[in-house]
Each structure stands twice: as C-alpha cells, then as structure tokens.
Structure 1
Amino acid sequence: MPDEITLRPVTADDLDVFEREFSGPEGVGPYQWFGFRSLVDLRRRFAETGLLGPEAGVLTVAEAGRTVGRVEWFAGTWGRPATSTCWSLAIGLVPAARGRGIGTQAQRLLAEYLFDHTRAERLQAWTDCANLAEQRSLENAGFVREGVLRSAQWRGGQWHDQVIFSMLRAERPGGEPRR
C-alpha cells in the first residue's frame, strides 16, 4: 500500500521532474508515448496560469510529499459545448510509482476535487484496450466501463482502440453528492 497520496498545485520543481521522467518513451510507458514534444509550452503555461485554468488543469501527485506524477483534466464535449461539456481525465506516474495503487488513489482524489470545485456532472477517462492495469485502476477508483472507441488513438504508427470509462456526480467517491 502506498504512503499518503495527495494532489497539489504544480511547482517549478515539479516541472523538472515531469521533464526528466516524461520526456521519453521509457518514462511515459508504451500507452502514452506520442513522440517528442516541446517542453517550452508546459513552462509557458505554468508561468501564465500555474497550469490551473477554467478549461484545463494539472495537479501534482505526491506520495508522502514527494512528486510521483501528475493528473490532468481538460474539457470534452458530446454535443454543443454550452450544454454538453464534461471533464476528460489523464494521469502520468513516474515508473517507480506504478503498480502500487497510487494511480487509483490519485484518480479518486481528482474526481473528488472536480466534483467539489466544478459543476461537472460527468468525468471520463480512456485508455488503450491492452492497458489492463489502468483499466483496473479506473474501476477501483469508481469509474464505470462504458465501451470501446474503435481506432480512436494514433500512436506508434498505427491506430489503437480505447476503452472509455465515466463517473457521474451521483457516483462520486464517498457516496451521495455533497450539498
């Protein structure tokens, strides 16, 4: 079982960890490697907004105070944005933090945070059909498997099917919606 897992705003030191751990295929793993990307944009967005904005955000995942990853959310829609927007979630853990339940706890904490601090009715996340560990993590965090999105993600020179999961406000961790 992992030590205490917390989410907190990203710091400049966290950016160094993210760059070191997530800039190559070894760090992000086989299901999140989309090729090399400029790291300048992340630092620019951090300088402008602290990576917390009305349309997206990033929080650091910490285990006993030590940075072990990040969680992110961004707006997704299933119709007109004014009436059909929900949050899509993503997670990245450093390799040493994987397989110990940290991802489950971090995704549960992010769901609680978003339901507490936004008007979201629906949260969603997806992962590669072959990523059984993340599928278990999402289910253990309280997300419900909805189905398969066929050929939804281009990665590694080919299209990959994704499994989509959701959590509704009434299904939030801890039971009933807070009033």
Structure 2
Amino acid sequence: MILATERLVLRRFTEDDAAALSAYRSVPEVARYQSWDAPFSLEQAVETVRSYAEGDPDAPGWFQYAIDLDGVLIGDIGLHLADNLQQAELGFTLAPAYQGQGYAAEAVGALLDRLFTEKNLHRVSAECDARNDASARLLERLGFEREGLRRAASWWKGEWTDDLLFGRLHPDWPRS
C-alpha cells in the first residue's frame, strides 16, 4: 500500500490486476480519450501490469497507481513526476461500474494531498480532450484551474482534437 483513503487504497499493480485492467480498458467509452485502443487484450494487460509494477513512485518519470476497492482493481492514476521533483502531471481512469460514486475524486484528491503536503510539489497539471466533460468537471471539483484550450492540437485516433489544460499550485492547497 502506498496511500489509503476512507474507502480506497492506492498501491502498486500486481499480476493479479491483469484481468480487471483488461476488462475496463476494453470498454470503448473508457478507451475513447486514452492512449490505448479497445479491446485491450489480457496479454496486453499482463505486460502492462508487469511494467507498472516495476515503477518507482518517488522517481522522475511515470508511475501508475492502482486504485483498489476492497481488493478489487477499479481504476488507475498515472503520475509523471518531473526531473526537478517539483512538478507533476496526472491522468486517471476508472472502470464504468465505479464511475459517478466519488471514487476518482477521492483517489486523485488523496494523491494531490500527498504530493503537496508530503512531497512539497510546487505544481500538478493535467490535460484532457475537450469533449471529455466528466474528466474536466472532476479536475475543476478538485480545485484545478482551467489554464487554456489548445485548439485542434492533438491528432488522436484519426482526428484532430482540442486539449483542455489544467493546473493546481501548492499555495492553493488544500481544496477549498
């Protein structure tokens, strides 16, 4: 366990997570704004989980946190820690059956608290496809400020997409 909330545990991935990861990453609506395509095979998930398990949450680069509810993988949070260890970028995914119940806000909020209070990061940023209203609303609920819109900035799955840019600064923590 890396971090616990009232209902959730943020932890490293284990090989037992492969089937659940394959299942939620295979849902077309989940994959729509993400870097993978659905279906996401069990073989892909096994390799992905192996790679995620080797990461270091305190080292520069990407680390993927497993979001665990009562021993079940329900989603993940990707965090890219900058080389200066003062900034990070994050992204999140939640299985459809667990969306709309506050789990993503709880998990991301707990990670932000750790980053700002324990790790003393200066800034955490996020971006999402401008059509991804649920992610944008979640970021705003967590106190991220919308810092910009990059129009037709990303060639994504066969089309140009707009990107929303969000940021949260240490002096503005905790959540208001």
Which segments of 5 or more consecutive residues in structure 1 lack a partner in the other structure? none
- 1:56 maps to 2:59: no
In the comparison of the two structures, how many residue pairs are matched? Answer: 166
1:18 maps to what in 2?
A: 21
- 1:8 maps to 2:14: no
Q: CA RMSD in A?
A: 2.8
Q: Is the 8 A contact 2:89 2:125 kept in 1?
A: yes
Q: 1:171 to 1:145 in 2, by over 3 A?
A: same
Q: Is the 8 A contact 2:120 2:170 kept in 1?
A: no
Q: Point out the more displaced range, 141-150 or 52-61.
A: 52-61
- 1:163 maps to 2:169: no
Mapped partners of 1:51, 1:70: distance in 2:
15
Q: Point out the more displaced range, 157-166 or 12-21.
A: 12-21
Q: Kindly report which structure 2 residues correspond to 1:1-179, keeping only aligned pairs within 5 A, or say none.
A: 4-22=7-25, 24-26=26-28, 28-32=30-34, 34-35=36-37, 38-39=44-45, 41-46=47-52, 49-50=54-55, 52=57, 54=59, 55-75=61-81, 86-173=87-174
Percent identical pairs in the alignment equals 28
Mapped partners of 2:78, 2:11: distance in 1:
12
In the superposition, the TM-score normalised over structure 1's length comes to 0.77
Mapped partners of 2:111, 2:49: distance in 1:
22
Which segments of 5 or more consecutive residues in structure 2 lack a partner in the other structure? 1-5
